[in-house]
Amino acid sequence: MEKSEFRVLIKHCFLMGKNTVQAKQWLDKYYSDSAPSETTVKRWYADFRWRRKNTNDAERSGRPNSTKCFNV
């Protein structure tokens, strides 16, 4: 399962009123081999508490993924 799909499930647990321990237990029950860590669940819960609405990756600044080299 993709990371973005787990984020949707974590948000679902958050909106249903489950705490982080309950959410992690639920994810482990159904996706034991690929469930996100407890730290990841807690981090997303914190983001949702701060009114984050979407589950997409945040924009990142910094070095580009690839570079172009020009010969002079």
Predicted local distance difference test score (pLDDT) of residue 48 = 87
Does the pLDDT at position 26 exceed 70? yes
Q: Which sequence spans correspond to the domains of the chain?
A: 3-50
Q: Which own/partner contact pairs does 10-14 have at CB distance under 8 Å and 24+ positions apart?
A: 10/36, 10/40, 10/41, 10/44, 10/45, 10/48, 10/55, 11/44, 11/48, 11/55, 14/44, 14/45, 14/48
The SS3 of residue 69 is coil
Average pLDDT, the chain: 84
Does the pLDDT at position 72 exceed 70? no
The third-level CATH classification (topology) of the domain covering 3-50 is: Arc Repressor Mutant, subunit A (1.10.10)
Confidence (pTM): 0.70
